[in-house]
Chain A
Amino acid sequence: MTGQEPPRNPSGDDDPPPPDTGMGMTAVAYLISGMLVWGAIGWLVDHYVGTKGIFAGIGAVVGIAGGVYLIVRRLGA
């Protein structure tokens, strides 16, 4: 197979990457990171303000929203 030429039409930078090449992982990573990062920041705010988890909850939801937005911008068409 080394004798073979590489595929005639390798996906250049302009083409969309072939399906399921790490994009699924990237999407999951964005979702989880979004939730963890902003959840953690919310948890810290909770800690300072003295509330019991309300900011952590808000942070997690906002983080997921951010993650979804990033997936759409980075991976979407």
Chain B
Amino acid sequence: MIEQSLVLASEVPFPPSVEDFYLPSIVPWGAHDSYWFTKITALMWVSVAAIIIFFLVTYRKPQLVPTKKQWLAESIYGFVRNNIAVDMLGKRGINFAPYLTTLFVFILLMNFWAIVPFAQISPNSHIAFPAILAVISYVMFIYIGMKHHGGLKYFKHALIPPAPWFILPLLIPIEFFSTFLVRPFSLAVRLFANMFAGHMLLLVFTLGGFAMLNANIWFAPFSLVSWAMTIALTFLEFLVICLQAYVFTVLTASYVQGALADEH
């Protein structure tokens, strides 16, 4: 066991770097310098396929007394619809429940690859994925706001707070910055940074165990502690995965709520 670990350890690079997030191509042809199909891409397609197949299968023959699978699908949808969409958007929330559920399930599954054995990296740890999701939310809440308030009136509503005129020059730049610049950025970066840091943390503790073992055989107990930490951190990761999927969905709903809100 220890000899095996040592053989492994000599190949383990430490400390881990950003390079560890750029996985090699997994198509058998033209693998050199080709990044069109990596594990990240594969996991994304698997997630999409899994979600589509799961919901199609569970809703194909809906029964009054639900089967286990149907119950699970309905619980997920019901959770997002009742606890996020309707809670925050009122009656109109039902219109947004399908999108919010899709968003929630997609982010949850994409994040979840971070702790699935042999996958062990989340596509969301590349900023491209959270960025596109954030752009969708951004365009959506602006579009909805413009539709609800009527074109440019939305921007007047969003940018001009109820305040005396002489403070407005002070407030409008702040409103513009926080609503139209910070929102998409923070949405994308929050999800990306959480998944990136999670993966990095697990790498540090896993590889660190090997590195210590490699440095000196008497460090073996510390390696064990390091690997025990990896297991504990995996549970923490699970928490972060669920929380970030929830936070992204709730914030998207909250932005839509802001776009739909009337003067108060």
Q: Which residues of A contact B (CB under 8 A)?
A: 1-4, 6-7, 10-13, 17-18, 21-23, 25-26, 29-30, 32-34, 36-38, 41, 62-63, 66-67, 69-70, 73-74
Contacts and interface: CB of A to CB of B under 8 A. Distances in A.
Given A29-B178, A29-B186, A38 B81 contact: no
Nearest to B163: A73
A30 B103 CA distance: 26
Contacts of A21: 87-88, 250, 253-254, 257
A18 B74 contact: no
28 contacts: A1-B75, A1-B79, A1-B82, A2-B74, A2-B77, A3-B64, A3-B74, A7-B86, A10-B91, A13-B90, A13-B260, A13-B261, A18-B87, A21-B253, A22-B88, A22-B250, A22-B253, A25-B186, A26-B258, A29-B178, A29-B182, A29-B186, A30-B174, A33-B182, A41-B173, A66-B167, A66-B171, A70-B174
Contacts of A67: 174
Contacts of A18: 87-88
B15 to A, nearest CB: 31
Nearest to B84: A21
Interface in B37-95: 64, 66, 74-75, 77-79, 81-82, 86-88, 90-91, 93-94
A39 B14 CA distance: 40
B251 interface: yes
Contacts of A66: 167, 170-171, 174
Query: Chain B binding site: helix, strand, loop or mixed by DSSP?
Result: helix
A13 to B, nearest CB: 6
Contacts of B81: 2, 6
A2 B82 CA distance: 9
Contacts of B254: 17, 21-23, 25-26
Contacts of A6: 81-82, 86, 94
Contacts of A22: 88, 250-251, 253-255, 257
Contacts of B78: 1-2, 4
Contact of A10 (B87, B178, B250, B260): B87
Given A1-B74, A7-B86, A26-B258, 11 more contacts: A6-B94, A10-B87, A10-B93, A17-B254, A22-B88, A29-B178, A32-B182, A33-B177, A34-B174, A34-B178, A70-B174
A46 B183 CA distance: 28
B162 interface: yes
B79 A11 contact: no
Contacts of B66: 3
B45 to A, nearest CB: 28
